[in-house]
Amino acid sequence: MKRIAIQGIQGAYHEIAARKFFKGEDLTIVPCVTFKELFQKMAQDPELLGIVAIENTIAGSLLPNHDLVRKSGTAIIGEQKVRIAHSLAALPGQSIEDIKEIHSHPMALMQSQEFIDSYTHWKAVESDDTAMAAKEIMDNQIKGRAAVCSQLAAKTYQLEVLASSIETNKLNYTRFLIVANPAQAEVLLKDVVVNKASMVFTLPHEEGSLAKILAILSFYRINLTKIQSLPILGRAWEYQFYINLTFDDYDRYMQALDAVRPLLKDFQLLGEYVEGAMPNGEEI
């Protein structure tokens, strides 16, 4: 049985992503209050896996998580893309007219703002986690309160779904990274044909340095799917570059890496894995 650490509690979108990635496998979910705690637990337990949200199609990149992955020393072994469909859930027997407060994570509230604003008597209250907002309602039997959460969270905490798919933008997807300690990553990826890589590096502070890297990747027909820059603390106007590459020929990809490495500083390969497929739009 695999054990996987998530940020949040059972019913959180991280659990949904984990169960989709390891579909059909028995999982033990290890809740963590923060992403920092997640990586601390992984450092203490080499067999523990982790799953980390890294990017949302509406909110953009989760920049602190890029840095946590880099510093953790873990390896990315896969990714899972999930359509985020929010539900409004309350105690059984409650109706929308009974609701006075809406509790959820700030991001979920923002993503459902149009629906929430259509009920002028509601008060939106921020919570640490979507699933925690649901659990608090059930644990304390709070009437007049609803949570914006996943359908899994509503089911887990025995709440009734009053409205489904209340997010304003239906093209709301989050990309999650599955990470493991390097020794375990090697075992899990044995015989897996990878087609994506994530890495981070810095560049000399000189004109055209990034353009040279992009030109080499293009020459080797390597597809750059994402580039994200983060400032380096204590080094004014210098940046780390996080990039994702996809490829259909591993040998050509390795040739491209050999060609660009002499031009890079502080290079770190974060992981090689299989690119995650886009979800089919199912409600979650």
Q: Is residue 284 part of a domain?
A: no
pLDDT for residue 58: 86
Question: Do 182 and 58 fall within a single domain?
Answer: yes
pLDDT tens per residue, range 151-204: 999 999 999 999 999 999 999 999 999 999 999 999 999 999 999 999 999 988
Q: Report the share of the chain in percent with pLDDT over 90.
A: 88
State the chain's mean pLDDT as an integer.
Answer: 94
Decide if pLDDT at 281 tops 70.
no
Closest by CA position to 4, among listed 27, 23, 22, 25: 27
Q: Indicate whether 94 and 80 sit together in one domain.
A: no
Q: Are 184 and 59 in contact (CB under 8 A)?
A: no
| Predicted local distance difference test score (pLDDT) of residue 284 | 45
Q: What would the pLDDT profile of 94-120 be if each residue is shown by its tens digit?
A: 999 999 999 999 999 999 999 999 999
pLDDT greater at residue 85 or residue 279? 85
Residues with catalytic annotation? 174, 176
- The answer to whether position 214 is within a domain reads yes
Looking at the structure of the chain, the number of domains it has is 3
Residue 17 belongs to some domain of the structure: yes
CATH at residue 127: 3.40.190.10
The burial of 282, by beta-carbon neighbours within 10 Å (0-12 exposed, 13-18 middle, 19 or more buried), is given as: exposed
DSSP letters spanning 67-103 = HHHHHH--EEEEEEEEE---EEEESTT--GGG--EEE
17/113 same-domain check? no
pLDDT score of 222: 97
Q: Are residues 133 and 266 in the same domain?
A: no
Grade residue 283 by pLDDT with cuts at 50, 70 and 90: very low
- What is the model's pLDDT at position 282? 53
- Whether residue 182 sits in one domain with residue 61: yes
Rounded to whole angstroms, how far apart are CA atoms 63 and 213?
22
Number of neighbouring beta carbons within 10 Å of residue 194: 17
| Average pLDDT rounded to a whole number, residues 69-93 | 97
Q: Are residues 74 and 97 in the same domain?
A: no
62 occurs within a structural domain: yes
| Residue 279: per-residue pLDDT | 85
65 pLDDT band, cuts 50/70/90, is very high
Structural domain of 110: 87-163
Does residue 16 carry a pLDDT above 70?
Answer: yes
Contact 3, 47 (CB under 8 A): yes
